[in-house]
Every structure is written in structure tokens, then in C-alpha cells.
Amino acid sequence: MKIVNIILIVLFSLFGLVFVGSVFLPKSYKVERSIEIDASADAVFTILTDYSRRAEWDSRFEAIKNDSTVEMRTDGTPGALGHALVWRGREAGEGKLILTDLQKPSSIRAVLRYIAPSPMDAVMEWSVEGLGADSCKVLWATSGPLDYPTGRILGLFFDGMLGKDMEIRLAGLRSFVESV
């Protein structure tokens, strides 16, 4: 009986730690990464705002391509507000990436809306700073809310997880833009 009491005390303590501890964790996240690219800010801006070309540089599309059930399309005019990348697939889930604010050639804001399997919105912001005629710095930030309690706990690991993915994708952008 003593062992059962100890197990119950440990379980309730862990339960309390998770639920009470989560109250003190951030309610949102923001992860940023940057890269320098040997291309003009205009050229990079054009690539970033044309979702029909995203698969040419974004490594995330490798996983989407491997989903034989995926249906993907772009809506609207590339480089214009409302331009969207829309997808649906068994493995890839369902979602859309929509351009919501553009300040050519220096900033881009988009909403990343996951519809399934787990509804969630995130904001993606790109800052393109010209460093010369054929050079620029690209800063990519993604942010969003964190659900209580699991999202807040997972948020502790977002910089490492999302940051590494963003670095790989930015390197793909640099490689692609510098080769065209």
C-alpha cells in the first residue's frame, strides 16, 4: 500500500508540475534566422512572393512530394496580396500560406494556416535588406500562439527545432537564387 501511495504522490506531483508550471511559460513563440545572399533584394523578393516557385528551393516540399495523395495549388497573382499556396494530403495534412502584407522589396508577411490534422495559425515574416547591388540579407521570422499546457511546454524546444529547419530552407533559398 505504501508503494501505491508513493506512485500516486509522484503522479500528482508531475501532473501539478505540468499544469502549474505551464502557466509561467510563454504564451507565444518567435523564431528568427537570417542569411546573406549574393543577389539583389528585388530578385529575392520576387522569388519569396511567388508560391508557384516555392518547391524549387524549399526543402519542406520534399516531404510533401512524397505524399502521393497530396493536392497542391496556388491561388491569386504571384507577388500580390492574397496570393496563396494551398495543399491537402494524407501525410501533409491540409493548410494554406497566404500573403497578407507586402512592402516591396523589403518586407513580406504571410499567414501560415494549418487546417488539419491540428488547426493552428502562424505568422511568417521576411525582411530583405539590400547590402549592395547584388547582395542582400534575408531575415525570416515565424511566430504564433502556444496552447496551454502542451504547446507551452513544446514551445521550449521551438527555437532548436524550427530554427534548424529554417536554416536548411534559407540555405536552399540562397542556393536557388544564386543559381538563377
CATH number of the structural domain spanning residue 102: 3.30.530.20
Does some domain include residue 11? no
Does some domain include residue 66? yes
> How far is residue 142's CA from residue 140's CA, in Å, rounded to a whole number?
7
Question: How many domains does the chain divide into?
Answer: 1
Does some domain include residue 131? yes
Three-class secondary structure of residue 168 per DSSP:
helix
Does some domain include residue 20? no
Predicted pLDDT at 154: 85
Does some domain include residue 146? yes
Question: Which domain covers residue 105, as residue numbers?
Answer: 26-179
Q: What averages of pLDDT result for each successive group of 10 residues across the chain (180 residues)?
A: 78 72 84 97 96 90 78 94 94 92 95 92 96 93 92 87 93 94
The amino acid that residue 134 corresponds to is D
Does some domain include residue 14? no
Does some domain include residue 17? no
Per-residue exposure over 120-150, b if at least 16 CB sit within 10 Å of its own CB, e if not: eebbbbbbbbbeeeeebebebbbebbbeeee
Predicted pLDDT at 18: 64
- Non-local (6+) Cβ contacts of 50 within 8 A are 78, 79, 83
- Non-local (6+) Cβ contacts of 121 within 8 A are 111, 112, 113, 114, 144, 145
If we measure between CA atoms, which residue out of 97, 142, 90, 96 comes closest to residue 117?
90
If we measure between CA atoms, which residue out of 76, 131, 126 comes closest to residue 103?
126
Predicted pLDDT at 14: 74
Does some domain include residue 73? yes
Q: Cβ atoms within 10 A of the Cβ of 180, count? A: 10
pTM of the model: 0.86
What are the tens digits of pLDDT across the range 56-93?
Answer: 999 887 767 778 888 999 999 999 999 999 999 888 88
Three-class secondary structure of residue 40 per DSSP:
coil
> How far is residue 119's CA from residue 104's CA, in Å, rounded to a whole number?
30
> How far is residue 148's CA from residue 98's CA, in Å, rounded to a whole number?
26
CB distance 43 to 49 below 8 Å = no
